[in-house]
Amino acid sequence: MERPSRQRQREQASEKESDGEVVCPECDSENIITDADQGELVCDDCGLVLDERQIDRGPEWRAFNHSERQSKSRVGAPITETMHDRGLTTTIDWKDKDAYGRSLSSEKRSQMHRLRKWQERIRTKDAGERNLQFALSEIDRMASALGVPRSVREVASVIYRRALNEDLIRGRSIEGVATSALYAACRQEGIPRSLDEVAEVSRVPQKEIGRTYRYISQELGLELKPVDPKQFVPRFASALNLSEEVQAKATEIIDVSAEQGLLSGKSPTGFAAAAIYAASLLCNEKKTQREVADVAQVTEVTIRNRYQEQIEAMGFR
């Protein structure tokens, strides 16, 4: 059988690339990389160059730091779910300077002030958009106070919008649904934040947050796994200035206890706090129950009860 020519191989590769699947015709590998400097499409396994004249879809300018990139960029910010209009409306700057950095005259300043005022007014066309704007600003405020990444804010905004479209907010407070959406986003993204921590930065009671969270998660079909106590260990250990050895020991204690079914029905924060307390004693980096309880925001009684169960599970008396 005649071996296909290099040109035929390139045609086959381009056909597969157009279908969304790039496979090397030489070794059938799917490990294809793009060399942006040379403009080539290369197989990472055998080194075959699949395409050597790729179009550079990036900007024509170069920048070596963030300020250069900002000054040379001619596009706006990407679409975001954290703003009620998804960031597509115009924003008038408050610096009172023109494009060349020169200060505006008093007449121009008063004109720009009026433009800004009307711009803010027309961004929301009705009460529904104003309520959405308020809810998303609440999510952003609470997310900043909790120190969670931007991805969590985006997910929380999407969950709130879904609840709004499903008409789940009727009869409930906007703050309560917004807080529940943020708590659900933290759990969905694997960012350990307890209900107590979320309630601290919220303006609604913890009981209402829990009730609303259960309702929207059930109605929206959010598949959220139970919170793993091991997710809290690094944060609590860091706040207590404990070593990596203590963290590893606490993780081991949690794993052994969970295998024996002790985790069922227990608070993950209390379970993690007790494991850290036990690990600190075993590693000679003793911390008091009061110190651990303050960091984990649980009671000393909870730590004592979970500590006894964990010690028995580990085989210590």
pLDDT at 11 over 50: no
Question: How many CB atoms neighbour CB 269 within 10 A?
Answer: 24
Q: What is the pLDDT of residues 249-284, one digit of tens each?
A: 999 999 888 888 888 888 889 999 999 999 999 898
- As a whole number, mean pLDDT of residues 15-21 equals 51
Segment 157-175 mean pLDDT: 92
Q: Is 186 annotated as a binding residue?
A: no
Same domain as 141, residue 206: yes
CATH number at residue 255: 1.10.472.10
State whether 307 and 237 are in the same domain: yes
In a domain, 111, yes or no: no
In this structure, what token pair is assigned to residue 124?
């929301």
What's this model's pTM, rounded to 2 decimal places?
A: 0.69
Range of the structural domain that residue 275 is part of: 229-314
Single residue among 220, 243, 270 that ends a domain in this structure? 220
Q: What is the pLDDT of residue 142?
A: 94
Split into its structural domains, the chain has a count of: 2
Dump pLDDT digits (tens) for 106-129: 988 899 899 888 888 888 888 888
Using the CB atoms, write b or e for 42-60: b if 16+ within 10 Å.
bbeeeebebbeeeeeeeee
Of the ranges 56-70, 119-133, 163-177, the best mean pLDDT one: 163-177
Residue 46 labelled as part of a binding site:
yes
The reply to whether 266 and 294 lie within a common domain is yes
pLDDT band per the 50, 70, 90 thresholds, residue 20: low
